[in-house]
Amino acid sequence: MTSTPTPESPDWMRPLGRTGLEVSALTLGASPLGSIPRLYGREVSADEGVRTVLAALDSPVRCLDTSNGYSDGESERRIGEAIRLTGGLPRGHVVVTKVDPRDRDYSGARVRASVAESRERLGLDHLPLVHLHDPENFAFEEITAPGGALETLVALRDDGEVGAIGLAGGRVQEMERYLATGVFDSLLVHNRWTLLDRSAGRLLDMAAEQGLGVFNAAVYGGGILAGSGSTYGYREVRAEVRAAIDAMAAACEAHGTDLRTAALQFSLRDPRFASTVVGMSRPERIAQTVDAARAPVPDALWDELEQLVPPVHAWLDAPFD
């Protein structure tokens, strides 16, 4: 029987595939940390962002996930300030970041500049894991061209300038093309393996075959499974998805829990994921999320929720035939 890892269980810390890194089952997602009100509906001050990171560094959450492009680097700056105030990154903690384009420049030179910017903002001499971020927004041929973004990221790893390298993106059909290159050490998927959406099934199979460490992000679908927002995966909610949310919420209530807790534990208890990434931008959310991981959820609920998953055509990325 699958169980949900908690800070008290031996499986709270686990290896991240072949990267040589160890991560906690829960990762602080730092996308909202730098303040993106158009996506998350609220401003996040620098002080609140730094205090959120400090709370994470003083908690069982031992992994932080950020990106060069989040709020034009502000997410990384706030993490870097918290690390400075702590006197350095505490032992056993991992900061993961991503390379991002600037405007429409996703060249090899831009990848090198992105890594250098991240090092400076975070105050870290070495980046243990760097993901290629959202390459689906560019032509595959451009990103994989000789001397391009992907080849450069591989060279940075091979030369020891960064540790492991990974792939982080959305549309699974495009992510499969990148994963097929066989050069990555880890994978981050978002919005596509949740209570409501199973688009990433084949992609997760590919990752397992390659021995990759996998992060599962946006398990609340951007907030709607946590009781906020009106979109799922940055898109308007289909009628079938709305009906599934309502039915799932009722099932959770009948079993003495809530949809937010079930959405989190659905990912945490899946052994394919080394870590579940949850976006947080308030200090109190750290403890609340850890408590949600500890909350009892009846085994019978999982089978009931599985019967309520929306039809395939309502998922973000319908699988290939």
Distance CA 157, CA 19 (A): 11
The length of the chain is: 321
Tokens representing 18 are 């072949």
Range of the domain at 306: 13-310
Report yes or no on 77 lying in a domain. yes
Q: Residues 70-93, buried b or exposed e (16+ Cβ, 10 A)?
A: bbebbbbbbbbbbbeeeeebeeeb
Number of domains in the chain: 1
Could you list the beta-strand ranges (E) of 94-161. Answer: 94-99, 127-133
Q: What pLDDT, in 10s, does the model give residues 31-64?
A: 989 866 666 667 789 999 999 999 999 999 999 9
Distance CA 56, CA 33 (A): 12
Q: What pLDDT, in 10s, does the model give residues 145-198?
A: 999 999 999 999 999 999 999 999 999 999 999 999 999 999 999 999 999 999
Report yes or no on 164 lying in a domain. yes
**CATH classification of the domain holding 137:** 3.20.20.100
Confidence of residue 298 (pLDDT cuts 50, 70, 90): very high
Write down the pLDDT at residue 321: 44
Report yes or no on 4 lying in a domain. no
Can you give the pTM of this predicted structure?
A: 0.96
Distance CA 163, CA 144 (A): 20
Distance CA 24, CA 293 (A): 12
Confidence of residue 28 (pLDDT cuts 50, 70, 90): very high
Give the torsion through C-alpha atoms of 243, 247, 204, 144, to 10 deg: 30
Report yes or no on 320 lying in a domain. no
Percentage of the chain modeled with pLDDT above 70 = 97
Query: In the predicted model, what is the mean pLDDT of the chain?
Result: 95
Report yes or no on 2 lying in a domain. no
Q: What pLDDT, in 10s, does the model give residues 229-249?
A: 789 998 999 999 999 999 999
> Any idea which residue has 């992060």 for tokens?
215
Sign of the C-alpha dihedral, residues 158, 153, 277, 225?
A: negative
Report yes or no on 20 lying in a domain. yes
Selection from 297, 311, 307, 306 nearest residue 254 by Cα? 297
Q: What pLDDT, in 10s, does the model give residues 93-133?
A: 999 999 999 999 999 999 999 999 999 999 999 999 999 99
Report yes or no on 34 lying in a domain. yes
Write down the pLDDT at residue 39: 64
Report yes or no on 180 lying in a domain. yes
